[in-house]
Structure 1
């Protein structure tokens, strides 16, 4: 990647290296929250350096596979037909293949401001003909079914027949992730193809088990300047693909432009008669390309006005922040609000984790809450619609309440794999990640934080309180009173760490009293009781009757919030009970032997050992408490439980786990930057830059090519927004307690709090908060003990 201070809105790549293409294709994905398409060249076929991929949010399919002698099922986000497919040939020569010509130039640019991908190249073929090729692609942000691919061919020293092939190619499978390649991967079956007009083709397919119909329609034209040029057109079709061959005469110095407009529609869409009809209707009319581009750019301009973040004096930092926001908005946008979808951990950018929804919304929602809270609300509805499935899962496990799945897809059942492949050993191993029941605690946190930021009582009354109460019921039931501790304990779970699946000798039974889980369970019970009390009397009575919630159960919750067991060892909070009895790992020896030890558990398993024997973490676990809870929340909670923390407990705990973490997850750098921000600002900044670099340089060596890490991208932005600024939204006011690193210069950021649209400016000297004009009520702003009332159209300033 290269860039200059004057083009911070451009992500540039110079030259062509097949080894770099998988990463570039993920980072150059273009999308609009409904669908996204990887940055593979239009002429590319799967295999080798390239992987064309298009994904529509929520389009999943389930297939059975034989793994380790057993039949298992996996639900996957489906790779849809390759709509950008365009290639060309000169006279009767070979179809263009970048890997067989002599490249003279190659530049690729992703315009972050407009989400437009451009590729420019010059090449010489085996007959010494020099040709310039410029390709441009976008997925429309306003008209979310609409996509556009442009290919411009300019002969430099030759003339002849130029033949294009513009195709909708349904010969696609889910084969991006190498470790999944033993699994079934063919998710689509053809329905039909047709050519409803000389310049138009239609491809219809459906998923072969979930039976979701989909249609793509494409209109293709050849122009010079703005005028159509004479061309012969020939239709080619097969059951799973359809193409137009367009042939025209080309002369030196005169560009020939192919314009391809595509519509993508599925049976999950609202207000359609059929996907095929809607796809063709979407191509109808006389839409001029310039007007479509203007609409697309305007939609993005409106989004960037809401999501404006400037780090003055740091163009490279700002460019990556913009890239992270771009990919967030290409995965989750206003179009997502009506789709019944969650937040896929790897975006709509690839097939890692099979497109499943984990807990990454924990890091995404703080960005949306303060800009597009209605979108957060819609994404929380994804969880509420699957509440019945979470209740059923709890019942099957012998509990009451709601047990949300660690991995979720179409219908809310547990989608975590039963076996996973260790690429180092080649062995398929039992996967116990479904024990990460703490996902329900993250959902409860998200519901409560949304309520705190927005004050949305309607959501709390009709959706949020029910979720909080059912999640609380599960944890209230899972906690049992242990006579040895004379406290409540929670056994047989997995924490956020993910390395520890059980105790040595009992590898898959889970661990007991994970500190993060126990503390967050206390918080979830408290939120549920607070939400219950906040409901209007009628709604409270109706909900209590519907859930059969009696005073005895609520009294038990209150008791748990005073008597939950929290483990400690050596003066620090234990990751889980028994952690202090595990062996220490020789970290330097393993770094010396392997270099990259991010995935330490794979290394140890390949050696015949197990990470369960060691004080070793993949990512932050106990430290997540200091990330999600402020000192004002955590210290009183611990004191109420009978564990008053002395001033050194938190820094001791941070140092203890910092020395014992492999950072095998991109989320780890975000959390460590957060917890170090107060006491070790320079180290926090180091972790901040590590979080920024997670995907742009692919620090995990190949994982970004399988899909971006959306949680880490959003989390790196939130470090600027809330961590270093000390921004909190609690108690109906806005609080700021900046520990702003001087090395980052000045932060300028646009936010929305309640009805106020705010402009926040922070540097090492002062804080400014300005509000736009309006008729809304003033908001109270607190900064390091100073309080001011912020009225519409006014600005308040606080010296630091």
Structure 2
């Protein structure tokens, strides 16, 4: 059974009723972020029940020393942990001498959480009867400002329902945090200083080893019935890494006391003096004031939604799902800082570590290209160019030479830090996704300048890697690629994974093509790059020999490319014949059993058909889809979206719709029973693709947008916007027609089911 406590709503994620068993899941689902920082939806007040405390700052990490049973040459020395950052949201509450703790109250009623995605604001409210007989109503509003991205805001209101009371607010800042997933129980933060000034406090701490400094700050205002009180704080606790204030307020029955707390982080990546920067951030926020900060938040989110929203009519769960995905993507990364990237859990949990995987290039770039301006996608490409030297170093550690580059599976600074052998050193297809993203960026934006400026050097490093990684087989008289893991991580150390071999060939061919183009059209860049990378025609001819003679495993009997050499040796029992009690197999089976099974974690051969759709006929896609999908358990978050797109392409709308719901509600309905660890941020971009590329059928061919619109029978209509080459095209699909409108200066041709249609600015075209 999937969880189903989230109430369907077009614009909000809503939970009603307090259930201690759901707290950790909700902490993930109601997470908030603003691109620079984020946090799980932990309670502000003390909670003695099960909770997973988590606050995170973009770009700050800790190199947690690798822990393995048997050290192998080439292992990364550390795993980059996404750091649990100091906690600034804490506000302990004492009423008539008793601590407020939802786990200990006599009763909790009218409990409600709401994440308003339209406005980027998180609300929580409840009534509670405490052990001392007091009855209270609590309302909390929290948001992380998009405009002042170092600042978060909390408004915590308590109304006493049945008598007069003495309320003590105890706001604190605490750097004494630890990561649940630390390998060696190490502390990651070293306290530097604790300062306070009137209603403000500053705790400065530095990460061990990486030496990032962060000042975590707070500023508090106490109000009774909405008017500010002149109450000075008492310092109730002060240690090397924590400070707590105490404000005592007397209120009558029916009166409301509240604390407005500003908090957040200033970090050494952006400031020389983080304490002074924190004081300025507080000053700025105080000057704007709580009410205006709230209004500014709504305006900033309205601007994001204006471009990135997808509307779905007639299916609330589908609508809620896609908005949740788009909302979380924007909370995680806004494209303002090219040092940052899109971590698979964003700001919602610690699992996976690192700030970038191949997910960014394969799944996220299309979303950011189409819903922001192209500079955001260019920043994501520049991120990899800036780490090219490290990619060459990573390859060197494994014995590759001559500038061959192997991009890391997981990284923070370009250095490989993932330490599961079968993934770190065998899942090399990630290199191909990075080259594909360069191709995809040029195809979509028409901006070629990135390739001569930066991209070609990346492509050359990647082509060199593939040339060296391939082995000439005298037995086959072809080049093979041995000992790899494809996207399907349920097969390790296999030979000739179709997707990997196909990518390798394509990467080399594409790189040679770009070298020729740059030579002919950008001779200055060509000379600069060739002298820098020391490349000549002889080396290129060696690459070409590999690409031209690459081996692809193929079954004549099934008329399909084989996922890898040994796939047909397996006992080919389809998923629908697998006992339901055995699922998910990654939680029920031994790894040994999984590796011998035919079960596919995510699209593998079909991932190749997704990337290179125009290399294959629709008949070939159908054959491969029908062969592989029945063996696919979709236990990777990245799987349902690719299958949804391909099912739609094949006109199988029911299947496409089922996969769409699964990808869009993966976390909301907790399909994989792991949402309490955090959300699947990067797969959320795949959800966006399943509507735009799947149902909308959007492709870019020969510098023009093509659509093959389809619509699930469950929907009355849907719409999305595409920023295509600085012109914004809106596409609205109904059951019997599709409408196009353009916000831009000049008319653009679009192709609908192969027929050209001219869309003029500010006029509606109906097909």
Indicate the TM-score class for this superposition, using the shorter chain for normalisation: over 0.9
Partner of 2:353, secondary structure, is helix
Taking the TM superposition and a 5 Å limit, the aligned residue runs for 1:415-454 are 415-418=417-420, 432-454=423-445
Partner of 2:176, secondary structure, is coil
8 Å contact kept, 1:28–1:38: yes
Query: Structure 1 residues 324 and 743, CA, compared in 2 at 3 Å: closer, same or farther?
Result: same
Task: State the Cα deviation string for residues 641-677 of structure 1 (Å, max 9, x = none).
Answer: xxxxxx7543232222222222221211112222222
Query: How far, CA to CA, are the matches of 1:228 and 1:275 in structure 2?
Result: 29
Deviation at 1:339, TM superposition (A): 4.9
Deviation at 1:160, TM superposition (A): 2.3
Query: How far, CA to CA, are the matches of 2:381 and 2:183 in structure 1?
Result: 34
2:211 is the alignment partner of 1:224: no
Task: State the Cα deviation string for residues 357-377 of structure 1 (Å, max 9, x = none).
Answer: 212111111111112122111
2:523 is the alignment partner of 1:537: yes
Partner of 1:63, secondary structure, is strand
Query: How far, CA to CA, are the matches of 2:736 and 2:109 in structure 1?
Result: 51
Match of 1:638 in 2: none
Match of 2:199 in 1: 199
2:756 is the alignment partner of 1:787: yes
2:479 is the alignment partner of 1:488: yes
Query: How far, CA to CA, are the matches of 1:118 and 1:434 in structure 2?
Result: 45
2:557 is the alignment partner of 1:567: no
Taking the TM superposition and a 5 Å limit, the aligned residue runs for 1:207-356 are 207-235=207-235, 236-269=237-270, 272-285=271-284, 286-334=287-335, 337-356=336-355
8 Å contact kept, 1:350–1:706: yes
2:449 is the alignment partner of 1:458: yes
Q: CA RMSD in A?
A: 2.2
Deviation at 1:500, TM superposition (A): 1.4
Deviation at 1:467, TM superposition (A): 1.4
Aligned length: 748
Match of 1:425 in 2: none
Partner of 2:598, secondary structure, is coil
8 Å contact kept, 1:222–1:229: yes
Query: Structure 1 residues 207 and 58, CA, compared in 2 at 3 Å: closer, same or farther?
Result: same
Match of 2:14 in 1: 12
Match of 2:534 in 1: 548
Match of 1:639 in 2: none
Task: State the Cα deviation string for residues 672-710 of structure 1 (Å, max 9, x = none).
Answer: 222222332211211111112210011111x22212111
Match of 1:82 in 2: 87
Query: How far, CA to CA, are the matches of 2:354 and 2:524 in structure 1?
Result: 41
Partner of 2:425, secondary structure, is helix
Partner of 1:498, secondary structure, is coil
Deviation at 1:3, TM superposition (A): 7.6
Query: How far, CA to CA, are the matches of 1:60 and 1:598 in structure 2?
Result: 32
8 Å contact kept, 1:758–1:769: yes
8 Å contact kept, 2:567–2:598: yes
Match of 1:40 among 16, 39, 42: 42
Query: How far, CA to CA, are the matches of 2:676 and 2:408 in structure 1?
Result: 23
8 Å contact kept, 1:401–1:473: yes
Match of 1:726 in 2: 697
Deviation at 1:48, TM superposition (A): 4.1
Match of 1:643 in 2: none
Query: How far, CA to CA, are the matches of 1:155 and 1:408 in structure 2?
Result: 50
Match of 1:764 among 724, 735, 754: 735
Query: Structure 1 residues 392 and 73, CA, compared in 2 at 3 Å: closer, same or farther?
Result: closer
Match of 1:633 in 2: 615
Query: How far, CA to CA, are the matches of 1:649 and 1:729 in structure 2?
Result: 21
8 Å contact kept, 1:328–1:713: yes
Deviation at 1:327, TM superposition (A): 0.5
8 Å contact kept, 1:2–1:13: yes
Match of 1:694 among 653, 656, 666: 666
Deviation at 1:135, TM superposition (A): 1.0
Taking the TM superposition and a 5 Å limit, the aligned residue runs for 1:90-129 are 90-129=95-134
Deviation at 1:347, TM superposition (A): 1.4
Deviation at 1:210, TM superposition (A): 0.7
Partner of 2:119, secondary structure, is coil
Match of 1:670 in 2: 641
Match of 1:516 in 2: 499
Query: How far, CA to CA, are the matches of 1:468 and 1:762 in structure 2?
Result: 38
Query: How far, CA to CA, are the matches of 2:49 and 2:209 in structure 1?
Result: 29
Match of 2:367 in 1: 367
Deviation at 1:586, TM superposition (A): 7.8
2:569 is the alignment partner of 1:576: no
Task: State the Cα deviation string for residues 366-400 of structure 1 (Å, max 9, x = none).
Answer: 11111212211112222111111111222232334
8 Å contact kept, 1:219–1:262: yes
Query: Structure 1 residues 586 and 310, CA, compared in 2 at 3 Å: closer, same or farther?
Result: closer
Deviation at 1:49, TM superposition (A): 2.1
8 Å contact kept, 2:343–2:357: yes
Partner of 1:317, secondary structure, is helix
Partner of 2:714, secondary structure, is helix
Task: State the Cα deviation string for residues 552-608 of structure 1 (Å, max 9, x = none).
Answer: 23334444443221101232210011222233358577525x4423417x6134xxx
Query: How far, CA to CA, are the matches of 1:551 and 1:745 in structure 2?
Result: 58
2:681 is the alignment partner of 1:710: yes
Partner of 2:583, secondary structure, is coil
Match of 1:684 in 2: 656
Partner of 1:435, secondary structure, is coil
Query: Structure 1 residues 225 and 378, CA, compared in 2 at 3 Å: closer, same or farther?
Result: farther
Query: How far, CA to CA, are the matches of 1:722 and 1:44 in structure 2?
Result: 46
Comparing 317-326 with 582-591, greater Cα deviation is found at: 582-591
Taking the TM superposition and a 5 Å limit, the aligned residue runs for 1:388-403 are 388-399=389-400, 400-403=402-405
Query: How far, CA to CA, are the matches of 2:474 and 2:636 in structure 1?
Result: 37
2:146 is the alignment partner of 1:164: no
Query: How far, CA to CA, are the matches of 2:84 and 2:604 in structure 1?
Result: 34
2:606 is the alignment partner of 1:623: yes
Query: Structure 1 residues 773 and 624, CA, compared in 2 at 3 Å: closer, same or farther?
Result: closer
Query: How far, CA to CA, are the matches of 2:733 and 2:161 in structure 1?
Result: 53
Task: State the Cα deviation string for residues 150-185 of structure 1 (Å, max 9, x = none).
Answer: 11010011112110100001221111xxxx465435
Taking the TM superposition and a 5 Å limit, the aligned residue runs for 1:739-758 are 739-758=710-729
Query: How far, CA to CA, are the matches of 1:332 and 1:598 in structure 2?
Result: 32
Query: How far, CA to CA, are the matches of 1:633 and 1:717 in structure 2?
Result: 24
Comparing 784-793 with 153-162, greater Cα deviation is found at: 784-793
Query: How far, CA to CA, are the matches of 2:213 and 2:485 in structure 1?
Result: 38
Partner of 2:411, secondary structure, is coil
8 Å contact kept, 2:46–2:100: no
Match of 2:135 in 1: 130
Query: How far, CA to CA, are the matches of 1:532 and 1:576 in structure 2?
Result: 31
Comparing 482-491 with 664-673, greater Cα deviation is found at: 482-491
8 Å contact kept, 2:405–2:464: no
Task: State the Cα deviation string for residues 260-296 of structure 1 (Å, max 9, x = none).
Answer: 0113111112xx2311111111112522111211222
Task: State the Cα deviation string for residues 409-446 of structure 1 (Å, max 9, x = none).
Answer: 2221111124xxxxxxxxxxx65443111111111111
Deviation at 1:97, TM superposition (A): 4.1
